[in-house]
Chains A and B, each alone.
Chain A
Amino acid sequence: MNIIYTDSLVIGGGLAGLRVAIAAKQRGYDSIILFLVPAKRSHSAAAQGGMQASLGACAKGEGDDEDIHFEDTVKGCDQDVARMFVNTAPKAIRQLSAWGVTWSRVRGGDEEVIIDGSKEIITEKHEAHGLITARSFGGTQKWRTCFTADGTGHTMLYTMGNKATQMEIPVHERKEAIALETGIAALGNMEAVQFHPTGIVPVGILAGEGCRGDGGLLRDRNGYRFMPDDEPDKKELASRDVVSRRMIEHIRKGKGVQSPYGDHLWLDISLLGSKHIEKNLREIKEICEYFLGIFVADYCAASSLTISTATIEHFMNREEKKIGDLLTREYGENPFRLKAEMQKIMMDKVGVFRNASELEQAVDGLKTLNQRAKNIALRNKTSSASPELVEAIRVPKMIKLALCVAYGAMLRTESRGAHAREDFPERNDRDWLKRTLTSWEDDDADLPKVTYEALDAMKMELPPGGRGCGEDKTIHHPDTEKRVAQIEKIKNANKKADRFEMQELLNPTSIPEKFKGKNERIGRGYK
């Protein structure tokens, strides 16, 4: 066994992994990144739309601040994380600018834009000329999404990659790591899989949300724009999960466009004009030219782990034995086929809308696949650079991950965020105001171990409740009402408090000292 010593080991070399490694290195810790693919090939590049920060420089973003951003972001879970994010996002965007991200800038004067299907003139302030601008995205109250034309993920990834290179952080590429199978690392909220609403038929490539943010419309088989009927407030700009659900509902009504690959809907960007598309949606244009999905977002559970060298040795030996078995087993399962079967189960039964019977079938089917995956045999019994061996190592792990998603979804008998249960359409804070933690302790087990971590409603800055998309059917937590009254009392007792003091009173989030500074905005200063 070749042991490499480091202070900090980062698994994954996308934007998050690179940023963590940079931060660790800046604090004086040696860092190593392990990555499946070469650096800068990460799928972070696909995050084309942008990143939210309340800089408030563009006309439609005027008046924005951390508090409005917070309101737009979350009602219920993980408010501490949301608070930390909204307060530090403006600093992160400005830091990335200094590191080299080519954020699109405000152009003072009149500009023609498409809002809600019709042309409108926006007058940008001349004093904001040259500051970082923002686009509309996800139905937020202010235009807040900072972007670089259509390639935000790309420019951020390259800048971050270059920064890591500058800091001499090694990226060990084309490497595998195990986490879940150690039984020590837990995965958080795995059932909360977000579906991207605009994947292209049939290749499944994403057409970025900038299409809708910039004024693109969703149309059905008759060319009819249906979103205003179902979501009169936010229409096409509602959040991803909401738009995905409305689209599926509309297709189920028989309004989809028929194709050999199943029914689909149209995303119409023709009204934006060729000049805008050429500049701000060029990737989309090229995709349309070249070709004619599912986007997974997960939440990592922050937890402190102790992993001893003995543990690592144990798992090294176990993995080596597994590989040895793979190279000697005469007859058995084909890993490509197992993967295809897993994909079909997840696609058909753990989709945008879920219900008990389909989820049970999915869990049963995946359990069988998990057993079969223990008996994979290779057609090419070679240990050198073999894509089949890579697949044989990965697929059993993928099946375990799929089980974490499906089983978590089966157990969570409510609808929340991206997790939509047809048989439990209401959000249920009474029973489910908690994080899911999933771990796999016993390699021979058929199912992961699922535990829950309750969230304290009495500590929430915004009392938990529905996100205001459609009718509110929330089953409230018993503490919600108490917290509402308590917040009211705190507000009345501190009428002179400014918004920063009020936030401190309602949600004393522990943000590191160096990131606590107030953010400056044009025309507003540090208020």
Chain B
Amino acid sequence: MSEKGRRLKFEIFRYNPQKNGDAPRMETYEVTEAPGMTIFIALNEIREQQDASLQFDFVCRAGICGSCGMVINGKPDLACRTLTSKFENGQITLLPLPGFELIGDLSVNTGKFMQAMSERVESWIHDIETDDMDFDQLEERMDPDIMDEVYELERCVECGCCVSACATKCMRPGFIWIPGISGPMKHFTRSSVMMTGCSAA
């Protein structure tokens, strides 16, 4: 860990669709790298110290909420889990995830897509009895191995990275992606839709 970090050069996509006359463009920012710095930390530094109008999303900063997906040097990934030290030449280009509604700059509406998907495939337990069940008695048994398998699919955080990288999604508006429907899901009544998120990919 050196005391004085190298200068990182960020090329960031800028466009505010709500602003009259604004045009898409790339803007350059420089940040001094700190030990353990992630793209998320660098973006906050840029927003706080250089350009308060820069839009991007985050909630948890720990790779579990799926908010901060963006295209980092050509690859969709989570900003909070990408260390700047990974890029040897210190050049980092950031673009919003394609295939989603652009809110502004790096912020896209993945939530809207996921919610629509959830409504469309009805991603809940289709068992009308669950509301009237007696929860005082022992629960229905599930094989522990099957439960573990199902949970593997549940790990998806709906960040949208895999969706954004999918050419079919970009071409077909009716795109739907339900991995595992023929695998462990057949053992289980739960019909939750699971995208293979970055954490699973």
Q: Which residues of A contact B (CB under 8 A)?
A: 26, 37-43, 45-46, 48, 90-95, 97-100, 102-107, 129-133, 148-149, 151, 154-155, 158-159, 161-163, 165-166, 171, 173, 202-206, 260, 279, 282-283, 286-287, 290-292, 336-337, 340, 378-380, 382, 384-388, 391, 517-522, 526
Contacts and interface: CB of A to CB of B under 8 A. Distances in A.
Given A90-B136, A260-B1, 19 more contacts: A37-B57, A38-B111, A90-B135, A105-B144, A107-B145, A159-B192, A165-B115, A165-B123, A166-B122, A203-B62, A204-B61, A279-B148, A282-B155, A290-B83, A291-B36, A336-B47, A337-B48, A385-B16, A522-B138
Contact of A387 (B1, B53, B122, B123): B53
Interface in B24-55: 35-36, 38, 41, 47-49, 52-55
A286 B66 contact: no
11 contacts: A38-B67, A40-B111, A93-B139, A98-B130, A103-B147, A151-B64, A171-B115, A286-B199, A518-B136, A519-B136, A521-B138
A291 B64 CA distance: 13
Nearest to B78: A290
B43 to A, nearest CB: 10
B92 interface: no
Nearest to A154: B64
B151 interface: yes
B182 interface: no
B111 A173 contact: yes
A291 B38 contact: yes
A378 B124 contact: no
B64 to A, nearest CB: 5
Interface in B57-106: 57, 59-67, 81-83, 103-104
B60 to A, nearest CB: 6
Contacts of A149: 148, 151
B66 A130 contact: no
Indicate the size class of the contact surface on chain B: 35 or more
Nearest to A91: B135
A289 B143 CA distance: 31
A510 B53 CA distance: 51
A287 B47 CA distance: 25
A310 B9 CA distance: 52
A374 to B, nearest CB: 19
Which 4 residue pairs spanning A and B have beta carbons closest together? A38-B111, A130-B141, A388-B52, A384-B18
Contacts of B158: 40
Interface in B143-201: 143-145, 147-148, 150-151, 154-155, 157-158, 189-190, 192, 199
Contacts of A384: 16, 18-19
Most buried by A among B133, B139, B154, B158: B139
A292 B127 CA distance: 44
A267 to B, nearest CB: 15
Most buried by A among B62, B63, B147: B62
A385 B19 CA distance: 9
A259 B59 CA distance: 27
